[in-house]
Every structure is written in C-alpha cells, then in structure tokens.
C-alpha cells in the first residue's frame, strides 16, 4: 500500500510539474499588445510599463537564452501577427529572423540599440576598450550585442524603448517617463557601486561567455581570452590549451562563466591552473533574479569578490 501510494505521489508530482511548466509559458495570442524579443528586453520593458495596462509578452521561450542564431517558430509567427509592436535588443542580436518577422507580418519594431553605434556617443568609448588589449594580433571588430550587460548602454536602451512606446501609447507618457527615470536612477546607483571595482592594478580575467564583455570591462577587468560556448559549440582541445597557456603567461586572476555549458570548461581550466571560477548571470533567462537591477548588483558584487582575492 505504501509502495502504491508512493507511486501515485510520484505520478501526481510529475503531472503537477508538467502543469506548472505549461503555466510558466502559456502565451496568449489574443491579448498580446507589446512583444519583446527575449528576456533582457522583457525585463527592461516591464520596468517602463509598470502601472500601465499595456500587456507585454516575451516572444522567445524563457529557456532560449540569447537569440544569436534564432529561427522563428509557428507560435512566434502567431505572436508577431497579433502584436502591435515588437521591441528588439538590436545591434545584431535578432539578425537571423528580424527581416522575416517584419516582412511576413508587417509588425512595427522598436530598436532599443538606436543611436548606440553611431559615429558619436558611447560606442567610441567602448571601441577604445576593444583596442586597449590589442597586442599585435588581429582583433574582432564585430559588435558585441549584449548591450544590456553595460550600465552605460542599458540606460539608452530604456530611453529608446520609452520613446517608442510613447508614440503608440501617448496616454501613458507621463507614467512611462517617470518609470524610465526611476530605472535610470537605479542604474546610476549601480554605477556608483562599480566605481570601487575600477581601481588601478591589473585584473586579467578569462570569460567563458561573450555576454560578460561589457560588465567585466566596466568593472576594470581586462579580458585576455573570451570564448562563447553554447549547446552546439564546445571549445576544441587546442583552444583549451591556448587559453590555459595564455592564462599562465598573463597572470590571470579569475575565470568567469555562466551557469551553463561553459561552466564545466571554466572549471576544468580553473582546477588545472588553480584560478578561482565565478558564475555571473547573463540575464538571458531567469537565473538569479527576475529583476534587472538585483541581478546586475549580484554580478557587480561577484566581480568585487573576485577582485579582492
């Protein structure tokens, strides 16, 4: 009897977890008005529209992560057809599907990266960072599209999203302006927190995720090796050996990874060279927090910890 009861409990638990799973992701194509391309854009938009009746939904499933090579699903097409506007990260993140999305549904798009990669402005500052660690070898000039991981850039993203939404929902202009300002104030207080990490002294690090590029640089780290790992890409033995050689040569102090497929490679090198490994949150899916500011604060504190070792 006890055994049977246990079996039933296990069965029920399975049923409930299935139910809970579908409850987590149950897109309602009838009521969608604003669609965000993926999670970081959703988090920012949520702050801006808080207290309004605007209904936001995220297009990509919460588990999708970044959208670098994303292909639209039938459900995505349904969502895109019924939404009033699609808010994208921009800077190339949605390049694999944005043309198709607009071409086939005619949806309006708010590009949160607008103005960031013009001749003037923030990008030049970052461009300098790109050059600063150049040591004779060719450098990758492709835009790093993980803009939300930069406190400088996320404020611009928020302003762009706000202006775009105000055109569609002028009745909420005042509240969205206020929300955006509050968000930027919160971002600015995180910038204060970053200042303590920007002290002089070498802080050479390895990053096993391209999403950490801006936040590491904004916190005074110099990335000696950066490698993107996902479900389909794993580093080759040769790459691992190169990373390991340069880590020793350049006196690398810390290795950063996300809690994903890159972690095992980060830990392998960390163990081999006795370098501590730290986990940061790329905010591409619900990991440490569903609040942008809280998750970024955790990241900055983790970098502080790594730096103080």
* Binding stretches for Zn ion (CB under 5 A): 66, 211
Q: How far is the CB of 273 from Zn ion (least distance, A)?
A: 25
Burial group, residue 62, by CB count within 10 angstroms (0-12, 13-18, 19+): middle
Other CB atoms within 10 Å distance of the CB of residue 246: 14
Residue nearest to Zn ion (CB): 66
Pick 172 or 214: Cβ nearer Zn ion? 214
Name the nearest CA neighbour of 208 among 261, 256, 275: 256
Q: How far is the CB of 147 from Zn ion (least distance, A)?
A: 11
Q: How far is the CB of 209 from Zn ion (least distance, A)?
A: 7
> What are the backbone angles phi and psi of residue 255, rounded to the nearest 5°?
-120, 130
Pick 44 or 66: Cβ nearer Zn ion? 66
Q: Which long-range contacts (CB under 8 A, 24 or more apart) does 164-167 make?
A: 164/85, 164/87, 164/110, 165/34, 165/45, 165/48, 165/49, 165/54, 165/85, 165/110
Name the nearest CA neighbour of 235 among 213, 206, 194, 203: 206
Pick 66 or 80: Cβ nearer Zn ion? 66
∠ at Cα 165 (161, 169), nearest 5°?
165
Q: What would the two tokens of residue 281 be?
A: 């949150």
Q: In this structure, are residues 208 and 266 in contact, taking their beta carbons and an 8 Å threshold?
A: yes
Q: How far is the CB of 93 from Zn ion (least distance, A)?
A: 8
Pick 107 or 147: Cβ nearer Zn ion? 147
Q: How far is the CB of 189 from Zn ion (least distance, A)?
A: 26
Pick 66 or 252: Cβ nearer Zn ion? 66
Count of helices and strands (H, E) across the chain = 11, 8
Q: How far is the CB of 44 from Zn ion (least distance, A)?
A: 16
Pick 59 or 66: Cβ nearer Zn ion? 66
Whole-angstrom Cα distance, residue 111 to residue 129?
A: 24
């Amino acid at each position: 009897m006890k055994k049977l009861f246990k079996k039933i409990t296990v069965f029920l638990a399975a049923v409930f977890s299935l139910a809970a799973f579908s409850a987590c992701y149950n897109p309602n194509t009838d009521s969608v008005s604003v669609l965000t391309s993926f999670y970081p854009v959703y988090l920012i938009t949520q702050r801006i529209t808080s207290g309004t009746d605007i209904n936001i939904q995220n297009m990509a499933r919460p588990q999708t992560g970044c959208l670098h090579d994303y292909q639209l699903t039938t459900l995505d097409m349904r969502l895109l057809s019924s939404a009033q506007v699609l808010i994208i990260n921009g800077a190339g993140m949605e390049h694999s599907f944005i043309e198709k999305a607009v071409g086939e549904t005619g949806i309006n798009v708010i590009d949160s990266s607008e103005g960031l990669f013009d001749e003037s402005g923030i990008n030049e500052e970052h461009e300098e960072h790109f050059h600063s660690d150049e040591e004779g070898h060719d450098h990758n000039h492709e835009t790093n599209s993980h803009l939300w991981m930069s406190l400088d850039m996320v404020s611009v993203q928020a302003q762009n999203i706000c202006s775009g939404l105000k055109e569609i929902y002028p009745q909420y202009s005042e509240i969205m302006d206020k929300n955006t300002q509050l968000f930027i104030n919160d971002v600015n207080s995180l910038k204060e927190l970053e200042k303590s990490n920007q002290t002089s002294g070498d802080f050479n690090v390895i990053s096993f995720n391209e999403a950490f590029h801006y936040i590491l640089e904004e916190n005074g780290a110099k990335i000696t090796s950066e490698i993107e790992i996902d479900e389909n890409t794993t580093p080759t033995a040769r790459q691992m050996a190169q990373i390991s050689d340069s880590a020793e040569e350049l006196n690398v102090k810390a290795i950063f990874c996300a809690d994903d497929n890159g972690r095992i490679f980060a830990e392998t090198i960390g163990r081999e060279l006795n370098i501590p490994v730290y986990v940061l949150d790329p905010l591409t899916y619900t990991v440490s927090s569903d609040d942008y500011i809280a998750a970024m604060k955790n990241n900055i504190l983790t970098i502080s910890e790594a730096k103080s070792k």
